[in-house]
């Protein structure tokens, strides 16, 4: 198979699948090494980055996916019903942050960090497909473990959870002191 044919095969698979496809699976289909397959995908990505295309090739962890360029959304809305927008309250965002940085994590562990129940926030994040169930923890009751999804990566514009900003240790210490002060004040009342 020629280089041009391999790129065409990759393009057709990614278009037809709709969802992301792992690099290893793409490499197996075109019978090529993963490194060479990634080079071909980067060439395709560069071609689609041109303003004459309405789609782009996204890299998500070790997978690739075609997606509509954000500048095209207004045109999509004209052709279809407006998609339901995510409304993320502060509590839902806080819960999502905890899951993103601590995954895999159970609901009880989330509540331990937040100090309040998180049923609503976890259910909202599941509804928006920003988190998913990763399995069960080997502990009494076998609680469900949660982690972020590819939709989370797409929505927040990161390729991997490794690309999330690092937490500033100075702020963490300040937050801990504030929390301790609040606890002490509430105990005195």
pLDDT 10s digits, 37-55: 999 999 999 999 988 899 9
pLDDT of residue 184: 75
pLDDT of residue 81: 65
Q: Collapsing DSSP states into helix, strand and coil, what is residue 115?
A: coil
Query: What structural domains and CATH numbers belong to the chain?
Result: 3-77 (1.10.10.10), 90-188 (1.10.10.10)
pLDDT of residue 131: 96
How far apart CA 132 and CA 108 sit, in angstroms, is 16
Question: What's the predicted TM-score (pTM) here?
Answer: 0.54
How far apart CA 24 and CA 30 sit, in angstroms, is 10
The tokens for 178 are 């504030």
pLDDT of residue 93: 92
How far apart CA 98 and CA 125 sit, in angstroms, is 12
Average pLDDT along the chain: 88
Statement: residue 71 has pLDDT above 80: yes
Summarize pLDDT for 75-112 with one digit per residue, the tens: 887 777 655 667 788 899 999 999 999 999 999 999 98
CA distances to 69, 83, 86, 98, 147 from 123, rounded to whole Å, are 29, 19, 13, 15, 13
How far apart CA 29 and CA 32 sit, in angstroms, is 8
């Amino acid at each position: 198979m020629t280089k041009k044919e391999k790129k065409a095969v990759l393009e057709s698979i990614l278009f037809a699948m709709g969802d992301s496809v792992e690099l290893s699976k793409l490499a197996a289909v075109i019978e090529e090494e993963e490194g060479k397959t990634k080079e071909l995908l980067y060439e395709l990505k560069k071609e689609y980055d041109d303003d004459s295309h309405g789609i782009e090739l996204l890299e998500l962890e070790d997978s690739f996916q075609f997606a509509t360029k954000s500048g095209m959304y207004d045109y999509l809305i004209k052709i279809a019903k407006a998609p339901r927008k995510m409304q993320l309250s502060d509590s839902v965002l806080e819960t999502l942050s905890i899951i993103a940085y601590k995954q895999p994590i159970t609901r009880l562990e989330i509540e331990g960090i937040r100090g309040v129940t998180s049923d609503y926030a976890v259910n909202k994040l599941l509804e928006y497909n920003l988190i998913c169930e990763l399995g069960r923890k080997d502990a009494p009751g076998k609680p469900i473990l949660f982690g972020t999804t590819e939709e989370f990566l797409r929505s927040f514009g990161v390729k991997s959870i490794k690309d999330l900003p690092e937490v500033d240790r100075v702020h963490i210490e300040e937050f801990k002191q504030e929390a301790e002060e609040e606890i002490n004040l509430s105990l005195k009342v």
